[in-house]
Amino acid sequence: MAAEDSDRFVTGQTALVVPVPEAEPAVRTWRERYDPAARAGVPAHVTVLFPFLHASLVSSGTCAVLDEMFGRHPSFDTRFETCGRFPGVLYLAPEPDLPFRRLTEAVVDRWPEVPPYGGKYEAHPHLTVAQGQDDAVLDEIEAGLRAVLPFTARVPTVDLVVFSGREWQHRASFALR
């Protein structure tokens, strides 16, 4: 959920994310200090779609469609071995990233009114470690990450999370096949 405005989450916003618990030992300390999503309760993750539909529009029918849609996609392994950057953002790049792109494409094909990042940015699968920092801070974090890379993660689910006004809360998980 790395975007310029991500420290200003809105009550009722939702996101579809792939949790990456295998990343927590490597990134937790950095994310707690430098990623607003972590401070708001989101675990290490790769975003499938942010923002998704407002929470008031996510019904049991919506969840059934998501469950069926994601169930058509195979679970997969991904590897994190390199860092990448957007302006002011440091992230870990998943390889391969095509399975993440396919998940995003499936959701956007079904709900074209919710493009990635509200249409401000292209979808680019990544695991945000820090944002809103100058290059010197990002350089320091990247140097620290090199010591713990690479690692591999299994991707068996996509989670729906909702911002309560204070924190992000897990609402549902959808299994990949």
Distance from C-alpha of 147 to C-alpha of 19, rounded to nearest angstrom:
22
What is the number of domains present in the chain?
A: 1
> Given a cut of 50, is residue 3 above it in pLDDT?
no
pLDDT for the residue 41: 92
Residue 148 covered by a domain? yes
Q: Tell me if 78 sits within 8 A of 21, measured CB to CB.
A: no
DSSP designation for 133: -
What is the rounded average pLDDT for all residues in the chain?
95
Residue 40 covered by a domain? yes
DSSP β-bridge partners for residue 175: 157
The single residue listed with the structure tokens 């820090």 is 130
Residue 4 covered by a domain? no
Residue 1 covered by a domain? no
> Given a cut of 60, is residue 14 above it in pLDDT?
yes
pLDDT for the residue 2: 46
Residue 95 covered by a domain? yes
List pLDDT tens digits, range 33-86. 999 999 999 999 999 999 999 999 999 999 999 999 999 999 999 999 999 999
Extract the tokens encoding 41: 């309760």
What's 148's domain CATH number? 3.90.1140.10
Residue 51 covered by a domain? yes
Extract the tokens encoding 119: 């249409």
Residue 37 covered by a domain? yes
> Given a cut of 60, is residue 5 above it in pLDDT?
no
> Given a cut of 80, is residue 6 above it in pLDDT?
no
> Given a cut of 60, is residue 1 above it in pLDDT?
no
Structural domain of 133:
14-175
Residue 127 covered by a domain? yes
pLDDT for the residue 121: 87
Distance from C-alpha of 8 to C-alpha of 15, rounded to nearest angstrom:
14
Q: Note if the pTM is more than 0.75.
A: yes
pLDDT for the residue 86: 94
Extract the tokens encoding 160: 């729906």
Q: By percentage, how much of the chain surpasses pLDDT 90?
A: 93
pLDDT for the residue 8: 75
Extract the tokens encoding 17: 């994310």
